[in-house]
Amino acid sequence: MAPLLSIENLKVVLKDFGKNQTGIILRGINLVLNEGERLALVGESGCGKSMTALSVLNLLPQPPMEILSGEIRFKDKDLTRLRGEGWREIRGKEIGIVFQEPLTSLNPVIRVGEQIAEMIRNHSNISESTAQEKVLSLLNEVGLPDPERIARQYPHQLSGGMCQRVMIAMAISCGPSLLIADEPTTALDVTVQTQILDLLFQMTEQHRLAVLFITHDLRIVRNHADRVAILYAGQVVEEGRPDEIFSHPQHPYTEGLLEALPEFSHKGRPLFNIKGLVPSPFEKITGCCFASRCPRAKENCLLEEPELFEKSRGQWVRCFYPSGR
């Protein structure tokens, strides 16, 4: 069976017209997402995780950014070739979106019920009253008490968690087959975070949605994803099942990230420090992107670029010297 979404060798560049420079944001991303699968993209700021998602939705800030090459196949369409009206069938309808800041992604001057209804009516031919009914059932489904009252509220009258529930209701309202969630819980409190995650994954299970889940937080991925892809400097450096990645990280960057997590159980021991900084998009890199910060780097790492290869069943790594445990 063909995958639902496949991203092949996606390259995105950033053009700085003032300095007449071109920076590389994504250096060839390859990802595959099957129907109903939950894939998490994990990485630090600037690694390209949000840009990957925005490319899928054609929401890249163009200019200064631009897709240089690559293919994004969703069902039978190549999204990089889609223009204008074609996007109305995809964005919001086939692919639902939940962004990081619920308060800035909702329109502050329109009641939340109307915002959801607008979305439904834009994508299907139903009457206003049927749309209203659907709004109420959606609000109920995402666990908001008293949907009739909530539907009449403005976003500022709701808490962050409630707004995010509204966003989820909106994202699933048109029956998409893929949901993109870009740091959906980062702006929320810890206890609310877990509730929203649970809701998100419960919804996607019920509606058989595939999820592309973007986060910087390794901990929340552990229990919620089928597969994890670790991104660094615009490349996938490791990909595999979360339990495998957590117990046997292969790439030195993944290892470093895991050991850098402060945990109570590490008390008294210094945390692992990945030396150096993430390279800027304008830096010229030959060889492996991580080589300059890598504790295991050898001479050839600085010269040749490693390929992503299958280290063990289902676990892929982009490194000449994977840990091999």
Residue ranges binding another protein (CB under 8 A): 44-45, 159-162, 189-195, 198, 216-224, 256-257, 260-264, 266-267, 270-274, 277
The amino acid sitting at 52 is T
Look at residues 275, 277, 274, 305 and name the one whose alpha carbon lies nearest to residue 289: 305
Task: Compare residues 176 and 242 and give the one whose CB is closer to another protein.
Answer: 242
Task: Compare residues 2 and 260 and give the one whose CB is closer to another protein.
Answer: 260
As given in the structure block, the two tokens for residue 77 are 């369409």
Task: Compare residues 44 and 101 and give the one whose CB is closer to another protein.
Answer: 44
- In whole angstroms, what is the distance from residue 254 CA to residue 269 CA? 19
- Can the peptide bond before residue 64 be classed as cis, meaning omega within 30 degrees of 0? yes
Task: Compare residues 40 and 151 and give the one whose CB is closer to another protein.
Answer: 40
Task: Compare residues 224 and 227 and give the one whose CB is closer to another protein.
Answer: 224
Q: How far is the CB of 160 from another protein (least distance, A)?
A: 8
For residues 259 and 269, the answer to whether their CB atoms sit within 8 Å is: no
As given in the structure block, the two tokens for residue 188 are 């929320």
Q: How far is the CB of 200 from another protein (least distance, A)?
A: 13
- In whole angstroms, what is the distance from residue 111 CA to residue 206 CA? 27
Give me the DSSP letters along 39-73: EEEE--TTSSHHHHHHHHTT-S-TTTEEEEEEEEE
CA atoms within 13 A on the CB side of 259: 15
Task: Compare residues 134 and 224 and give the one whose CB is closer to another protein.
Answer: 224
Q: How far is the CB of 310 from another protein (least distance, A)?
A: 26
- In whole angstroms, what is the distance from residue 20 CA to residue 277 CA? 24
Q: How far is the CB of 225 from another protein (least distance, A)?
A: 11
- In whole angstroms, what is the distance from residue 226 CA to residue 240 CA? 9
Q: How far is the CB of 288 from another protein (least distance, A)?
A: 17
Q: How far is the CB of 263 from another protein (least distance, A)?
A: 5
Q: How far is the CB of 125 from another protein (least distance, A)?
A: 37
- Can the peptide bond before residue 63 be classed as cis, meaning omega within 30 degrees of 0? yes
Phi, psi of 247 (to 5 degrees): -90, -35
As given in the structure block, the two tokens for residue 296 are 């295991």
Task: Compare residues 152 and 219 and give the one whose CB is closer to another protein.
Answer: 219
